[in-house]
Amino acid sequence: MNQAVTSRRLRCWQMLWGLLLAAGLAACGVPQGSTRSQEAAAPAPMAAKAESTLGTQWGEGRESKVQTVEATRLSPERPQGVAQLQYSDEASIRRALGSDGDRQLNVLLAEGNVEWAVQDGQGRPLPIFSTRGGRNYQLAGRHGERYELVYTNRSQRSYEVVATVDGLDVLTGQAGSVRNAGYLLRPGQTLRIDGFRKSQSEVAAFRFAAKERAYAANTPAGDTRNVGVIGSALFEVRMDEREPELAPRSPSGDPAAFPADGGRYAPPPQYRR
């Protein structure tokens, strides 16, 4: 049984994302009539990557209990670590990278404070490939295999982990955003996220499958263009000194005055065929 804790924000903020580009050209000091030759910069080579052959299916139900706690992000506008893994079968990855591929078993986040690995159903790390010196991470999966996202906190800091699979938030099943609430990762703790959350006590296991069977391809919030990528964002948080609370939810079948407010977790897929 996997126990985890989710955190939620105490205040609202606005995320600002963008790329700031500054370019300056110094043209002073050139005598009139003289010419200056300028060598064009060669474009950076594109990193090789394998076309994804896999997606992640809504798998069998697994017991996984959570409780809600209060925490505040120390820098809500800037995560301490962001990374993504593109995944495919190992043969496709090796063909794409050739001899340029480095093999590793985890990815370091937040300057190494947190180790992120993907493990199979037996707890064995799946290989992650990258181009030498690069961060173009590619995860090797196998069709039908169950997997888990595993985060190990090597620091004395607490983090909130916001994770997405195929562009969908693993807690809500909605489009992924760093503004979403995530799981709490305490100092020295190992957090395992083993499925899309169905309720406070159950998840739907992550299983590699054909792309057309992916959860993201069979739910209204999904986008098939995002199938084949797993994302993680870390925010350092300050814990509030209050007891954990269980979010109020009406028992199944009971009348509810505000039924839409209960839909905090991922809805089941709607297979088209």
Domains: count for the chain = 1
130-183 tens-digit pLDDT: 876 667 899 999 999 999 999 999 999 999 999 999 999 999 999 999 999 999
- Say if residues 62 and 202 touch (Cβ distance below 8 Å): yes
Average pLDDT, the chain: 81
43-78 tens-digit pLDDT: 444 556 778 999 999 999 999 999 999 999 999 989
Domain that holds residue 144: 49-247
* 130 in a structural domain: yes
The average pLDDT across 248-262 equals 49
Residue 143 pLDDT:
97
Residue 255 pLDDT:
57
* 135 in a structural domain: yes
Residue 9 pLDDT:
45
Q: How far apart are CA 90 and CA 272, in angstroms?
A: 29
pTM for the structure as a whole:
0.77
Q: How far apart are CA 249 and CA 258, in angstroms?
A: 10
* 258 in a structural domain: no
DSSP character at residue 49: -
Residue 47 pLDDT:
57
Q: How far apart are CA 160 and CA 182, in angstroms?
A: 6
Q: How far apart are CA 271 and CA 265, in angstroms?
A: 19
Residue 123 pLDDT:
95
**What is the CA 143 to chain-centroid distance, rounded?**
20
* 13 in a structural domain: no
Does the pLDDT value for residue 235 go beyond 70?
A: yes
**Amino acid at position 139, single letter:** L
